[in-house]
Structure 1
Amino acid sequence: MKKQLLAAVGLIAIIPAAFAQNGNSRPQPVVQPLTIPLPADKPYPGTMQLKVDATDVARGIFHVRQTIPVAKLGKLTLLYPEWLPGKHAPRGAIAEMAGFKPTAGGKPLNWTRQPTDVHAFDIEVPAGVKSIDVAFDFLSPTRTSEGRVVVTPAMMNLQWEQVSLYPAGYFTRQIPVQLEVTLPDGWTGVAALDGLKVAGNRYSYAPTNYEVLVDSPMFAGRHFRKWDLGQNVTLNVVADEAKYLDARPDHVARHAALVSETVALFGSRPFDRYEFLLALTDELGGIGLEHHRSSENSRNRDYFTAWDENDHERGLLPHELVHSWNGKYRRPDKLWTPDYRTPMQGNLLWVYEGQTSYWDLVLAGRSGMQSKEMILAEWATHAGFYSVQPGREWRSVEDTTLDPVIGARKPKPFASWSRGEDYYNEGSLTWLEADLLIRQATNDAKSLDDFARAFFGGREGDWGQDSYNFDDVVAALNAVHPNDWARFLRDRLLTPGQGAPVRGIERAGYQLVWRDAPNVFDRDRMAQAKNYDLTHSLGMTINKDGDASAVLWDGPAFKADIVNGTKIVAVDGMSYSKDRLETAIRAATDGKTPVRLLVERGGRYRQIDLAYHGGLRWPHVEKVGSGPDWFDRLFAPKRAL
């Protein structure tokens, strides 16, 4: 043994020499000095002037002119925003920026882009120059294949981070800026910025800081209405056509009730005013994005005019409003950054987004924005999906908080195995369990409402940021009801391999069941998406053209080598239709008959027999026994108390 060991040691010693003697070229890395100054919490000397010409609606081009005071001669580094609040990832639209031209006194200035940070522009400032002028164009996408469409013939969504730069080396809250924007004739624009002056189609605002500017986007449109919802909250709506602005008094009253219920929950307002920006459109790119004193929202154009058919659509505004408290005012400490170049870390997004996703449903129920049936159906859909999601085996909910960076919301080949941004919906179900645990342990004397008021409620009108960490969340929960909350959260959210998150549903006196017809949430979302979700039967979703997507890992379709993009051509020898497929799935419940499909992919056809005999299955929740209905207590309005 000793002799063999010595021989092995000798062989190991020879290996480095062999690598060194092979004669191949061996370069050394080029040293890349860090030349971009880090942000400092000190005032920037002077106020930037930002002018945006947004009148080129036909081509969707924003023309930008920006004047930036300079502190000294030499190199000035300007940054285009990259890491954007609310997106939890580097989503800066640098690819759409073109025509960059810096000048001083009308003379062009030399500039270079940082090769290791394409969002950074170095400009040489000559002696005697007090300010520079920068011109560029933002070429907004004109079709969805290029990105989110932000300009249509009837409306636009102006996000100031897309049409501005800021100097490196300063906290964005320390950089003063004054905005002027020119809109198309006859359009109305709204942004949560102060000191508005309107001259014709030119909107100008009082100086603010760059952080507030980026946090205060504008919706503008040809067809516009607004409603006062109370509590210094306004509902501002633009629409594809004027007829879609026909909201009934009851519709507005429910939005006002939402505001009242939200303030009643948290006990104070982290804003002096709040602007709902709502686009009713089939043309503008979809959005739901939170800000401190406003939110960007888009819904179906018939949001008001087909009110009863849009129950499933009415959870967005509650979600974005709650974010003013949870996400904007109280923010995870690693998600808050001093500028838009510093990377964000989203490990507590199961609070930021997960608890917001809980409160949006609760508040929708308390205000009448959504029906109890729709809310329970949504929880059933999510719980049902997590009951069959194989990716839970290896990936925790907390790890999915990195998915905005990893996946960037692009389509995935087998999303049920890789997982996605599950901190939203699984977070919601986890907070449902926490709420009912507290309620039942205290005989309904305490609830998650008490946590929300203590943790997210603050000084009235404070629209700064107050950061927190995991231990702060645990301490606040223990202050409401002593429990091993650290273990509760770690087991459910930080640990993979957990069972389906149904304990909250069960605590409410309900259970997850399966039926051969979709719940109302699945029914309506399938109608809107024009697809057929067979996750719990064949293990795939099929669009109106017969194309498969969302193939469930290790499900029947997966085992038959069906992948995303496979086309279902025929069912039992007849051309594909939803009804024929339903009939085939029902027939297969005899335990003998297969679901026979003709499929095509890449011009190649094959017939397959799916060995599935379980019938049509969609998740529902149903009441168990005669005990109390905790959901009724949960959805009981608070504003009259």
Structure 2
Amino acid sequence: MKPATIHYAIRASNPEAHLFEVRCTVSTANPAGQRFALPAWIPGSYLIRDFARHIVSIRAESAGKAVTLTKIDKHTWQAIPTGEKRSSLTVSCEVYAWDLSVRGAHLDQTHAFFNGSSVFLRAVGHEHLPCLVDIQRPLGKRYHNWRVATALSPAEGERGTAHRHGFGTYRAASYAELIDHPVELGDFTLAAFSACGVPHEVVISGRHDCDLARLTGDLERLCAWQIRFFGEPAPMPSYLFLVTAVADGYGGLEHRASTALLCARNDLPYAGMKGTPERYVAFLGLCSHEYFHSWNIKRIRPDAFTAGNLDAENYTTLLWAFEGFTSYYDDLALLRCGLIDQKEWLRLVARTIGKVRRDPGRKRQTLAESSFDAWTKYYRPDENTPNAVVSYYAKGALVALALDLTLRAGTNGRVSLDDVMRALWLRHGERAGHDGVGVGDDDIRLLAEELSGLELEPFFAAAIHGTAELALAPLLKPFGIRLRRQKTSMTPTLGAKTSTDGNEVRLATVYQDSPAQAAGLSAGDLLVAIDGLRVTPDSLEPLLCRRHAGETIRVHAFRRDELMDFTVQLGSPASDKHKLVLKKKRNTLRDGWLQDAAKC
């Protein structure tokens, strides 16, 4: 007798209306009343998204007869008790899919994309069972050329087994695995390459003119470096980059054997492109970030994520390590595998320093707090976010930089953050023959101390649990790198970030302790005039650049529909731009840090 299996089927039933039809069949439903639930969030994106709100209709049947479903909370339904043992129960629903992002589901006449967490109901109590999913072709001639792109494995030996890139039946070992493999359907562009013997594919949806040879060649170098960094063999048998190219977009979400990426089509390389433009560097950095997550968070996980509760928030204070350290290595990997040079990498690091030091939130929130509060603050930004929140991505990357420098300098290059990451993989990573152990709050510090022999508690107390500025300049000095701070302009400042709409200028953020805040200006205020002269996107800079810090100006602004009058004493020109300068003299510590790809 075959072991119990959860059967799913999904079809783009009405692309024009953006509707999927999804079925879930449980052959051994709970006779006391089987429950079904849709996840409240998707792993990797720490915000309650309530995917169940996109269910348009839902119904159930057993043995050809309708079964009543009762909704018991915002994302859970329960079938009435059948009273029969091992009864089969099928729940069918229509899911609205119009979220063009890496997190949800999107469907129209041009393509279909979905994450399992957006469409596949969880049979509560049966999450451990293997799953079969029949991915069906939409009806109609226009979909004749559509193919399937997913890292799910074809269900060998099953009726309707899918062939490579074909519609049919795929298999997952459990519900958690089922929802960790996004799916793209359409007439997409497909390219392939191999890295360290692991087959990789790149699928691009949307109009584009990408130079596939350039892209796959660059990704091959990047992926091979990361595999060798952690050590062969790679933990995944194959890997898939799912890319959606649009006019303007940016984002990525990691999965165990794939990643979903959203980019501007102009970010992709094109035939005849010279060098490595900044936009392409950003796209390669995004690919690098999500690929590094194949180890750091998908298989090396914080304790809080090992339980995998999909119904509520999973709190951890460690996102600074899992997102921040990944943000450090994403660009460093580009340097070490030769896709960018040291000058470009130092520019990227300097930009991150400026980003962190620009926002006052770094003085009010620690990295541990930022990690814990991601569910309510980082992923719910508002006009005051720069004043109250520090990014565990950006500052976490700087902490990784500072820790790497501290370890290398303190051990004369014997131990580095590379060693810590590889030790984390060996001790905590989930892989063949090793179940993996969740990372606790102090484990990274303790491991770094064990490897280096250094006392690192003061460093972690200040960098992770404190708000003091990271002392990067003295840390960089032994490596022959000088950190300089520069003024971005000579124009005195209001101390506010502005946004424009047509010919209007509005305050988007008023920074803490700024001249604008002291004068009473607020986010949302529409600037009308400065000293009696109209403010427009073109006139604001000329109106201010003729002044000097300490001068007083009169500002008229609308707050809602009320005209208000403010007196603002201008502040000093912003000096939030930073530059890292390499000393030409040969430096052994620096060479071991930035050129140690061969060691991996």
Give, in whole Å, the separation in 1 of the partners of 2:302 and 2:580.
36
SS at match of 1:381: helix
Task: Describe the SS at the equivalent of 1:470.
Answer: coil
Alignment match, 1:444 = 413
Cα distance in structure 2, aligned partners of 1:582 and 1:632: 43
| Map of 1:220 onto structure 2 | 185
Asked if structure 2 preserves the Cα contact closer than 8 Å seen for 1:238 and 1:280, the reply is: yes
Q: Give CA deviations for 1:513-552 in whole Å, capped at 9, x if unaligned.
A: 023269xxxxxxxxxxxxxxx9x94332223322321321
- Counterpart mapping for 1:454-473 below 5 A: 454-457=423-426, 465-473=436-444
Q: Which has the larger radius of gyration?
A: 1
**2:236 matched to 1:271?**
yes
SS at 1:257's partner residue?
helix
Deviates more, 1:381-390 or 1:76-85: 381-390
Equivalent residue, structure 1, for 2:273: none
Can you list the C-alpha shifts for 1:85-129, whole angstroms capped at 9, x where unaligned? 212343341111121101112222122222xx4222121232346
For 1:488, which of 459, 466, 475 is the aligned residue?
A: 459
Give the direction of change, closer, same or farther, for the CA distance of 1:63–1:374 in structure 2 (3 Å limit): farther
Greater CA drift, 460-469 or 313-322: 460-469
The corresponding residue for 1:291 is 255
Q: Is the 8 A contact 2:32 2:81 kept in 1?
A: yes
Q: Deviations over 1:149-190 (max 9, x none)?
A: 7335533321111111122235x3x12210112245122321
Moved more, 431-440 or 442-451: 442-451
Task: Give matches, 1:63-462, under 5 Å.
Answer: 63-114=21-72, 117-128=73-84, 130-141=87-98, 150-170=106-126, 172=127, 174-184=128-138, 185=143, 186-195=145-154, 197-198=162-163, 202-231=167-196, 232-241=198-207, 244-247=208-211, 249-268=213-232, 269-282=234-247, 287-305=251-269, 308-310=277-279, 311-341=281-311, 343-370=313-340, 372-387=342-357, 389-407=359-377, 409-420=379-390, 422-457=391-426
Unaligned runs of 5+ in 1: 1-43, 519-533
Question: In the TM superposition, what whole-angstrom CA distance separates every residue of 1:275-296 from its partner, at most 9, and x where no partner exists?
Answer: 122222237x754111111111
- Kept in 1, the 8 Å contact 2:346–2:580? The answer is no
Distance 1:538 1:514, change over 3 A: farther
Q: Is the 8 A contact 1:159 1:214 kept in 2?
A: yes
- Counterpart position of 1:635: 594
Which whole-Å CA distance do the structure 1 matches of 2:260 and 2:598 have between them? 26
The aligned runs of 1:582-597 (5 Å cut-off) are 582-589=541-548, 591=549, 593-594=551-552, 597=555
Assess, with a 3 A threshold, how the Cα gap between structure 1 residues 136 and 148 changes in structure 2: closer, same or farther: closer
Distance 1:156 1:178 in 2: 20
Q: CA deviation at 1:558?
A: 2.3
Amino acid at match of 2:154: G
Q: How many residues align?
A: 570
For 2:259, the aligned partner's letter is S
Secondary structure of 1:204's counterpart equals strand
Q: Deviation at 1:426?
A: 1.1
Query: In the superposition, relative to structure 1, how do residues 370 and 583 fare at CA in structure 2: closer, same or farther (>3 Å)?
Result: farther
User: Structure 2: how far apart are the matches of 1:368 and 1:569?
Assistant: 50
Query: Quick one: which amino acid aligns to residue 76 of structure 1?
Result: Q
Note if contact 1:413-1:563 (Cα within 8 Å) is conserved in structure 2: no
Matched to 1:181, the amino acid is I
Hey, what does 1:40 align to over in structure 2?
A: none
Contact 1:587 1:593 in 2 (8 A): no
1:83 CA drift (Å): 4.5
Of stretches 508-517 and 131-140 in structure 1, the one that deviates more from structure 2 is: 508-517
In structure 1, the residue matched to 2:159 is none
Specify the SS of the correspondent of 1:451: helix
- Contact 2:239–2:258 (CA under 8 A) maintained in structure 1: yes
In structure 2, do the counterparts of structure 1 residues 432 and 459 end up closer, same or farther at CA, with 3 Å as the change threshold? same
Deviation at 1:344, TM superposition (A): 1.4
Q: Distance in 2 between matches of 1:465 and 1:224?
A: 36
1:594-633: per-residue Cα shift (whole Å, max 9, x none)?
A: 4665433312334545322523544112327666666665
TM value normalised by structure 1: 0.80
Partner residue in 2 for 1:53: 11
Q: Secondary structure at the match of 1:516?
A: coil
How far apart, in 1, do the equivalents of 2:455 and 2:584 lie?
A: 30
For the 8 Å contact 2:60–2:66, the answer to whether it is kept is yes
1:264 aligned counterpart, secondary structure: helix
Three-state SS of the structure 2 residue aligned to 1:437 is helix
Whether the 8 Å CA contact 1:265–1:452 is kept in 2: the answer is no
Task: Give the deviation of 1:372 after TM superposition.
Answer: 4.1
1:406 and 1:121 map into 2 onto residues whose CA distance is: 26
Cα separation, 2, equivalents of 1:113 and 1:155: 32
Give the deviation of 1:332 after TM superposition: 0.7
Q: Is the 8 A contact 1:67 1:134 kept in 2?
A: yes
Matched, 1:540 2:496: yes
> 2:557 aligned with 1:620, yes or no?
no
Q: Distance in 2 between matches of 1:107 and 1:408?
A: 47
Partners of 2:173 and 2:288 in 1: how far apart?
Answer: 28
How far apart, CA to CA, are the structure 2 residues paired with 1:194 and 1:402? 35
Q: Which moved more, 1:425-434 or 1:486-495?
A: 486-495
> SS where residue 206 of structure 1 aligns?
strand
Q: Secondary structure at the match of 2:33?
A: strand
The answer as to 2:516 corresponding to 1:551 is: no
Change (3 A) 1:596 1:622: farther
Q: Judging changes above 3 Å, is the alpha-carbon distance between structure 1 residues 482 and 333 closer, same or farther for their aligned structure 2 residues? A: same
For 1:321 and 1:569, locate their aligned partners in 2 and report how far apart those are by CA, in whole Å. 47
Deviation for aligned residue 1:405: 1.9
Q: Encode CA deviations 1:560-614: one digit per residue, 9 max, x unaligned.
A: 333332223445655444553333343223x465466543331233454532252
Give the Å deviation of 1:74: 2.0
In 2 relative to 1, CA 91–402 (structure 1 residues): closer, same or farther, beyond 3 Å?
A: farther
Measured on the aligned residues, the alpha-carbon RMSD in Å equals 3.2
> How far apart are the structure 2 equivalents of 1:369 and 1:92?
40
**Structure 2 residue identity aligned to 1:46:** A
Partner of 1:31: none
8 A contact 2:317–2:441 mirrored in 1: no
Q: How does 1:11-50 map to 2 (within 5 A)?
A: 46-50=4-8
Would the alpha carbon gap of residues 626 and 377 (structure 1) be closer, same or farther in structure 2, given more than 3 Å must change? closer
Q: 1:291 to 1:135 in 2, by over 3 A?
A: same
Amino acid corresponding to residue 443 of structure 1 in structure 2 = N
Distance 1:199 1:278, change over 3 A: closer
| Residue 599 (1) aligns with residue 557 (2) | yes
Alpha-carbon shift at residue 233 of structure 1 (Å)? 4.5
Closer/same/farther in 2, CA of residues 347 and 516 from structure 1, 3 Å limit: closer
Q: Distance in 2 between matches of 1:539 and 1:506?
A: 32
Q: Contact (CA 8 Å) 2:364, 2:389: kept in 1 or not?
A: no
Q: Percent identical across equivalent pairs?
A: 21
Q: Please tell me the residue identity of whatever aligns with 1:175.
A: L
- Which secondary structure does the structure 1 equivalent of 2:243 belong to? strand
Distance (Å, rounded) in 2 between the aligned partners of 1:638 and 1:322: 15
Residue 175 of structure 2 aligns with an amino acid whose one-letter code is: Y
Contact 1:64 1:136 in 2 (8 A): yes
Asked whether the equivalents of residues 54 and 181 of structure 1 are also in contact (C-alpha less than 8 Å), the reply is no
C-alpha distance in structure 2 between counterparts of 1:199 and 1:233, whole Å = 13
